[in-house]
Chains A and B, each alone.
Chain A
Amino acid sequence: MRARLGRVPALAAAGLLGLYLAAALPWGLGRAWLEVVRAASAHENPAEARRRVFGETYASAIEEIRRALPAGESYLLVEGGSGMLGDAVWVRYDLAPRRAIYLGQLNELTSGMQVRRRLVANLRHVVVAFGNGRPPRLYERYSFLQEIDRRARAGSTARGGPGSAR
């Protein structure tokens, strides 16, 4: 009896290992099969794959900005969303090796004067990144500052501003 009781932990350990493999393996093997099939039938170049994964509008916007800003150019980066979704860092990655200076969150930028004070380099372009797959937008700096001032005059700090049309 005692010997049998002594086997309980071993039986439990073996049973849990079996259960774990029974639960996890079909998922792992099934997923691997799907990926192999998908890879075998994939006929995409890297740009097409990016459109499929990140969405047509986001990927196209990145390509447009890449064309407008040569690889050696730098830009001012503004976080248009909450910042919790990593919007700015994804855009920074997609636009690298173009260098970025972070200006802050869009809703913190309340006047053109305030933005000018934050400038530590004389860069001509501003990129505003949004979350949830929304496409980033490229501005000439002067037009971005005008937008900020227009928004301040309208007093609409909660809504509107650059990018609100999207």
Chain B
Amino acid sequence: MPADLAGGLGAVALFAVPGYGLTELLPGLRRRPLPRRAAYGYLLGVAAVAGSLYALSHLGGVPLRPPAIWAAAAAPALLGLTAALLRRRLTPKVAAGSRSDSRPLAATAASRSLFAARIRDLGGPLPAACALAATFICVGVFAEAMTNPPHDWDGRMTWGTQARYVRAAGTVDPGVLLDSRWYISHPQYPLLLPVAQVAVLEAFAADPDSPLPRAVYAAFLPVLLLVIYDGARRAAGPVPAALAALAVAAAPFIIRGEGGAESTYSDLPLACFYGAGLVLLLGGRPRAESGWAAGLLLAAAVLTKNEGAVLAGLALALGWRSGKAGAARLAAAAAPVVMALVFLASWRAGIPNRQDESYLEIVQAGHLWPGIVTHVADFVPVMIDKMNRFRHWAGFWWMAPAALLAGRRVLRHPLASRFLTAALGPPAVAWAAYSVHPTPVNLAAVTWERFLLQAAVPLLIVLACSWAAVWRRLGRPISKQRYGGKALLSSPPQ
């Protein structure tokens, strides 16, 4: 039998279906085209299913066994189904083609083939070719994940090991974490993704060595690309958006690197949660429902990695808008994040920390200053060396600064500058960590590229804006087809 591709798809569906149901409750996401809606749905599904299991296990002592897992997956799916049925019953029937999200598709279907209409909907042949290439790369990652066991470093050292202990104990509070005698790395690292692994393995009664959990991680790659495309298309139009997504898919580190799509690190999921939360918070008109969705995704970021708390705080700060609607959206976004922080503190309270850097204690001991300046000469060369490695980045970091320089005028736009600030968040966290760490060179060598990955969504949206400006400068105005409003470059700075 070939690799268990069907099993992998089932593992992805365990989160994608409930998440898709949740998007039914959120008009802003429901109106997006199917692939992008499914991408946000997958993130919401992981957040809702794994997050609720995490909370139920710690706060309610609910065993992480199939009944609880299927119930956690079924509840949002049924909620979405009910909402869809109610909406169809209550909404008066409208003529085909009048939906705002299917702009030219139905109108042209009569005279053109469906294929041609799809290409046009994507923005033309170039975005369609980019989508095709990126899809094939994602299929390759999924195939690799279903063929090989985990063979990365941190995935096995931390996340996978924790998942095995949690699965065996049936709780997110296993004795191995609570008793300081046991040898375990980073016992206080948040467990959202290990709980997702447990959910998949338990739901399908899979062998501990089964590659099914790897499918959950591989699925984050197309999600990342679609979130980048969604945010960039709104800001810069379809062609730069498609190029931005393809540029990420083509970067070797994003695919194969320690922390990339073929690993079981939590950096790619964090990049998705942080980036998607930003796109929902910074894009479009401020609405409480988009704030709630963004808050749920940022809460998942908090429960995915330690730095998720800092990034969620930064995203909330950047999402602030004046006015009643802006305040309502911020409040809706902040509530889940605060709840996640309180929950995380409660879960950590019983776990003695060991085999960990304890950044909080180092910073409290006053090592941040002057280390933030004096350590620079140690770790900056390592950062540059990593970014210059052709096998890792294929020249991505030679191309990106040139684009930002050429399109620098667009960075004055408030939206672009907010995304740029958001993109600087993960590197800033890295800088602070390297400044206080006793061996910053070693730490930078193994983590710097992962921080860059965490910044992928906002950075690529800014790059897409720069490319749009470059294209305009070269006298080839890009398509003005828009989805959901004008692109950033066609509107004057506010």
Contacts and interface: CB of A to CB of B under 8 A. Distances in A.
A68 interface: no
Given A13-B405, A36-B143, A29 B165 contact: no
Interface of B: 1-3, 5, 133, 136-137, 139-141, 143-144, 146-149, 151, 153, 156-157, 160-161, 164-165, 167-169, 175-176, 181-183, 185, 207, 209-211, 243, 246-247, 249-252, 255-256, 390, 394-396, 398-399, 402-403, 405-407, 466-467, 469-471, 473-474
A120 interface: yes
24 contacts: A9-B402, A10-B474, A16-B395, A23-B390, A24-B252, A24-B395, A27-B250, A27-B252, A32-B140, A35-B144, A36-B143, A39-B143, A39-B147, A42-B2, A42-B3, A42-B147, A44-B147, A49-B147, A53-B151, A89-B185, A90-B156, A96-B165, A99-B165, A100-B183
Interface in A65-107: 71, 74, 77, 86, 89-90, 92-93, 96-97, 99-102
Contacts of A9: 402, 405-406
Interface in A1-52: 6-7, 9-14, 16-17, 19-21, 23-25, 27-29, 31-36, 38-44, 46-47, 49-50
B169 A97 contact: yes
Given A32-B136, A32-B140, A13 B402 contact: yes
B252 A17 contact: no
A108 to B, nearest CB: 15
Contacts, number: 176
B298 to A, nearest CB: 30
A16 B400 CA distance: 9
Contact size class for A? 35 or more
A121 interface: yes
Given A32-B136, A49-B211, A121-B181, A19 B399 contact: yes
A66 to B, nearest CB: 9
Name the residue among A34, A54, A74, A93 with the largest chain B CB count within 10 angstroms.
Answer: A93
B164 A93 contact: yes
Contact of B147 (A7, A12, A35, A120): A35
B182 A29 contact: no
A96 B252 contact: no
B4 to A, nearest CB: 9
Name the residue among A41, A47, A96, A100 with the largest chain B CB count within 10 angstroms.
Answer: A96
A40 to B, nearest CB: 5
Nearest to A103: B183
Contacts of B2: 39-43
Interface of A: 6-7, 9-14, 16-17, 19-21, 23-25, 27-29, 31-36, 38-44, 46-47, 49-50, 53-54, 71, 74, 77, 86, 89-90, 92-93, 96-97, 99-102, 120-121
A99 B156 contact: no
Contacts of B209: 46-47, 49-50
Name the residue among B133, B146, B147, B210 with the largest chain A CB count within 10 angstroms.
Answer: B147
Given A17-B467, A35-B144, 14 more contacts: A10-B469, A13-B402, A13-B467, A16-B395, A20-B395, A23-B395, A24-B394, A24-B395, A33-B136, A35-B140, A46-B207, A49-B147, A49-B149, A77-B183
B157 A25 contact: no
Given A19-B395, A21-B247, A36-B139, A99 B176 contact: yes
Nearest to A66: B208
B183 A101 contact: yes
Contact of A11 (B143, B183, B243, B474): B474
Contacts of A99: 165, 175-176, 182
B212 to A, nearest CB: 10
Given A49-B211, A101-B181, A36 B250 contact: no
A38 B140 CA distance: 10
B3 A29 contact: no
A77 B151 CA distance: 21
Contacts of A44: 3, 147
A99 B211 CA distance: 22
A120 B179 CA distance: 12
A69 to B, nearest CB: 13
B1 to A, nearest CB: 6
A144 B160 CA distance: 29
Contacts of B249: 28
B164 A7 contact: no
Nearest to A45: B207
Given A16-B395, A25-B250, A101 B182 contact: yes
Given A39-B3, A99-B182, A21 B474 contact: no
A13 B395 contact: no
A29 B161 contact: no
Name the residue among A14, A24, A33, A101 with the largest chain B CB count within 10 angstroms.
Answer: A24
A17 B250 contact: no
A38 B351 CA distance: 43
B250 A24 contact: yes
A101 to B, nearest CB: 6
Contacts of B153: 86
Given A32-B141, A50-B149, A17 B399 contact: yes
Contacts of B165: 96-97, 99
B413 to A, nearest CB: 18
- Which 7 residue pairs across A and B have the least CB separation, nearest first? A32-B140, A97-B168, A39-B143, A24-B394, A13-B406, A96-B164, A24-B250
